[in-house]
Structure 1
Amino acid sequence: MSLEWEQVIVDSADPVALGRWWAEALGWTVVNDAPDEYEIRPAPDRLPGLLFTTVPESKTVKNRLHLDFRPDDQEAEVARLLALGARHADVGDPEGNEFCVLGARRS
């Protein structure tokens, strides 16, 4: 038996807007742009992806799951993401979902 990681589901008020934001932030490809399900992947045939879906309620508490990213230049990447519309949560996307932009790996 094998198990393949297909995607992470992200609940959102506006899946298209949030999906576009993450596609721009990550440089990923849009593979489905339906109004109620917006999916992005690193490349059309690469997994896992992020699937943004519509939910009626707004975010009210801290995420139970969050993403960590390790850029080459943390300060520059945080500035770039903030310019795209991210907010300090420490860092959160436009709908307030927290994620981390980590510093350089220690040797």
Structure 2
Amino acid sequence: METTTTSFKICVDCADPHLLAAFWAAALGYDIEDHSALIGQLLSVGAIGPDEVVEVDGRQAFRAAAAIRDPAVAAPAVGHGGRVLFQAVPEPKTAKNRLHLDLHVPDQAAAVARLVELGGTVTGHGEQGGHGWTVMADPEGNEFCVA
């Protein structure tokens, strides 16, 4: 039987995709994807309207979506892993995440301090088998751990 891998990206529902893309790009050392060339093409052929576009950091971006990627993954990274898509949804976050990221860092205290400066909040601490971690939330309240 032949084994194949399945390509994927992580998708995060949110209220402000650009806020979360900026936070998570800084948190992970990822690059924010520049979709301005694609947006220009889509606008020029009428595939999207100007109401679907917003200016972010001096360039055109999709109003309802933003993405970040591992800088080690060659562009275009769609479907090739190392990518996180943030997509605007109308409903707010109402409960604990069913899936979260664990960030493994060499200096937990320094990483937590940096993430707080970026807009994250500390929500708790955990320990198991002598290994401790800090539970945090991103600017929209999505939980993650720093170990």
| Coarse TM-score class (shorter-chain normalised) | 0.7 to 0.9
* Mapping of residues 1-40 of structure 1, within 5 Å: 2-31=4-33, 32=35, 33-40=61-68
Q: Which has more radius of gyration?
A: 2
> Which letter does structure 2 place at the counterpart of 1:15?
P
Normalized against structure 1, the TM-score is what?
Answer: 0.86
List aligned pairs for 1:1-107, cutoff 5 A: 2-31=4-33, 32=35, 33-43=61-71, 45=74, 47-89=81-123, 90-102=135-147
User: What is the rounded CA distance, in whole Å, between the counterparts of 1:4 and 1:29 in structure 2?
Assistant: 23
1:86 deviation in Å? 0.1
Count of residues paired in the alignment:
102
CA RMSD of superposed structures (Å): 1.6
Runs of 4+ in 1 over 6 A off after TM superposition: none
Identify which range, 23-32 or 79-88, moves more after superposition: 23-32
In 2, the alpha carbon distance for the partners of 1:99 and 1:11 equals: 15
State the alpha-carbon separation in 1 of the partners of residues 68 and 120 from structure 2: 18
Give distance in 2, aligned partners of 1:97 and 1:28.
18
Unpaired runs of 5+ residues, structure 2, are: 36-60, 124-134
> Aligned residue for 1:105?
none
Sequence identity percentage = 44
Normalised to the residue count of structure 2, the TM-score between the two structures is 0.64
Q: What amino acid sits opposite 2:19 in the alignment?
A: A
- SS of 2:4's partner is coil
Amino acid corresponding to residue 86 of structure 1 in structure 2 = G
